[in-house]
Structure 1
Amino acid sequence: MESNENNLTDSSAAESSVKERSCEQREALPGEPRCVICGRYGEYICDKTDDDICSMECKNILLSRHADTTMPALRPPRRVNIPMSDECFYVRDDNITISQGLNRAQIESLRSKIDICVKGQFVPDPVLSFTSCDLPQKLEQNLETAGYIIPTPVQMQSIPAALLNKNLLVSADTGSGKTASFLVPIVSHCTRIRSKCLAEEKKPLAMVLAPTRELCVQVEEQAKVLGKGLPFKTALVVGGEALAGQIYRIQNGVELIVGTPGRLIDLLSKYDVELSEVSLLVLDEVDCMLQKEFQDQVMQIFRALSHPQVLMFSATISQEVEKMANTIAKDLIYIYSGKPSRSSKSVKQIAIWVESKQKKKKLFEILMSKQHYKPPVVVFVGSRVGADLLSEAINVATGLRALSIHGEKTMKDRRDILRMFLMGEIPVIVSTGVLGRGIDLLKVCQVIIFDMPNSMDEYVHQVGRASRMGQEGTAIVFVNEGDKKLFRELVQNLKSAGAVVPRELANSKYLASTYTVNNRNKRKYGL
């Protein structure tokens, strides 16, 4: 403690422990000094620079920046040795934050690839792995157990920003991973505070407000999954359940309250609920929460809190929402995930009749064609062994770098492969159905269905990989007599998508009705 007092000088430092991390420091009140790094209460003064800082963490960052300015501008980046278990890391050098070993141009390129736009001051770089976020180890384990392989685009940008105590306004579509975007910082925030504060009376530390009971239930269930095994308890405050039971749970100590505004106002008016330690507030579906129906209730709850960090999420962000959000939280960082027009985009489907023995040859022709090869590409196959063998064959026959991904590979291997694919290091992935569902990450330009799946439901999901991230992609489908059980549904799907039906498929005896081939378009789409 003596060494800290030599480096940090302020009247309050002698009275209490010096804050180690910026997240332990409160927000600055009007007229109070602000930390030059993060903007929180500048409780201390750095003796080497005379700047206001909030914690040892920000002091070290400040001194690192100060040291950089005294060194030659063209010195090479310093190398950092990291454990093999870490896929990503942060270092600061030459006044530029290098995320995962990327320079500034690569970071902007990454944001462009994953369709992330940001606006605001001191926006942290996106991350490519949860392990680069300095999360509690148990939280990382819970994420892996829950099936989170690598962050989705909105999580890549939102989580590191939220962990730095930034106020956020985030636009992200349903299904893009926005719930985990705020729950991961919440669980991390609450866990770190609780691990340092062992008081018997545990007051709520965070709050999530959502417009519907169903959404609140979903959020709380996910929070329980991510907080399992940690000092992290939740309370659900919604209609349909007795208020007495909800207040009993809160009074017995919880870290997070998830609720609808009306029910929470009802609870606050009837019971003495202490919210003084709530330092993180989330408004889910903020466009709805700031409409007349909820606005007064939301503002009443907000005024009952003491300058919390605010995270706001919505599917769309209008100018009106932006203006209202600015009245709630200052110095907002805006994060836009995806493109507004992506819902109108569709996949161009191209069905090719290819006999089983000729499928490899046809695949190699496509991958070596300047006209038809559109990387990055995902090739779907029917088996794990087939994925391994076909990826090796692609490497040999075409010279393209291809890797396989399937359920027998470890979680770390899958993370590494997906990261390399995202960064453009691998143009082709050969996959089983493991990539057909759930991972809204890959900016795939082309899908090639080498082996037809067992159902049209799986087929639709695999084709849909080519329409991720706001772009129109192409799906090439190999079909032959071995897929006859799906002929009827496949033809219906192709026709509804405006795709050409191969003559062999249209004339198949396995179809109940006759389909004709659009010969005029055959040359345009045939490969």
Structure 2
Amino acid sequence: MEFRDLNISESIMERLDEKGFTEATQIQEKAIPIVLDTELDVVGQAQTGTGKTLAFGIPIIQKIQEKIEENGRKNKKAVKAIILTPTRELALQVHDEIDSVNKGNKLRLCTVYGGQSIEKQINKLRNGVDIVIGTPGRVIDHLGRRTLKLNEIDFLVLDEADEMLNLGFIDDVEEIMSKCKEDCRKLLFSATLPKSIMELVELHMGEYETIRVKSKALTTELTEQIYYEVKEHDKFELLRRIIDKEPGFYGLVFCKTKADVDQLMRRLNDENYSSEALHGDMNQKQRELALSRFKSHKIDIMIATDVAARGIDINELTHVINYDIPQNPEAYVHRIGRTGRAGNKGTAITFVEPREFRRFKYIMKISKSDAKKEKIPDVTEIVELTKTNIIGKLKQLIQTENSEDSEDLENYEFENLEIVDELIELADSKVIIDKLISQLFKEELNRKSYGRIGDYGSRKGNDGRDSRRDGRNDRDRRDGRRNDRDRNDRNDRNDRDRRDNRRRNNDGGSRLFVALGSMDNMDTRRLLRKVLEKSDVSKDNISEVNVYRNFSFISADEKTAKQIVDSFRSERRNGKPLIEYAKR
């Protein structure tokens, strides 16, 4: 059924047309008429990736707008709808999706969640908001401060209700429901409807209609799904190993935020990988140029946010990598669905931090997916594979259309005979080839160019029990718990980060000043290569390299730092050492 057949207002239809949406999904087709044309509550069961957000977002916008046009804004600061989500990431995604069809109606939207300045949220709420999207804990916080009142709302939405209960938000949800206007309409959407959900429905909802969308397989068999358990600070090194392990890598890498996308692109390009960024801060011309370069294989790696990647439609992608874990099962399905298309096999890889393991298992369960855990790629295996690839490329180069001529030296047309003859006089041909390969593929064949990655494969019983405990601990850090717990936890994390930095640079570690910067044609990769070649130290022992305009800093353990300083002792610039200990 088309959206135009659902009695949707023209202003919203214009936005849907702009988005290229014409056909409603099953959940949209069933839910929108109930919300628009009846006064019933709704209990919707639909798996992820079915368009639940617009199923409730479209009719809520339309009903609120119609009420404003009919009666005006009697209380300009009164909230008319509140949407609860289990995580801040989902809150932001729901906000963006609803706002995309809100333009033209000019309803005021606001997200409230932990980890964001509560003062900014308070200021926005005081100025007047029509729709609030938030996490239960932070909503409770605002209710306690009386900066949010629900006594005039017309709609309450529980999105991904089963996950909210899984994360321990049942008490918060019930308290919020008790604060709502008694006759407000309640819309609950969930991938599953366990007994705990139905008890909540019977206790707090009025007459309702249940909508069920038939479950089906969400992921294609052509996509191999695997995951690696890895600490956050090891993700970049793991990504490098995966890319280097796959000679034909042509992939899409997903990050959580725009800033993360830009940072990862810079780090990859500093290491001489060909990558582009794609996110919402880019204008249309920049987006089109980036996509054009990716589609034409001028670059092999596209780093993107979920929203920005919606415009990517390429059948031959070999890999999709979740550098940051998706915020919900729907995002996971959308991401990995971009590989394994048109009969082509693909690989979907997810980086899972130990504290995220419980959430990852939930995503697997709801999306009906099965990802296999893999061991971190071994550096030795990668280098050996690189050697095989080099041999293959050189064989292909030698075995050209003129291969028959190349075996007959009398008929072969040398392009650089003078250089070849001079080199042959200098050394045996094996020595020459070895030197050329060593020089041309120095970085690819250098084991020291890879950093060390911790081994997290010893999970107790390999069944996730330790990670579930991490998940419970992490739940306490989750946004918006009572008494503004999220702010305290954020401070704890900042303190821990500062302690980690002090350990890296003070507890047996040193920071070096380098009198070279980007003005000297230096980047992270070039500076690191220069240091490794000169001092013969291991990259594993260098924890950080920061290149600025006129100078750089290197952080390393004490022994490595001393070896670097000693190796560069004879090199000076403007009468001063090229590399010396940084002043504290």
Q: Normalized against structure 2, the TM-score is what?
A: 0.38
Structure that is richer in helix per residue: 2
Greater radius of gyration (CA): 2
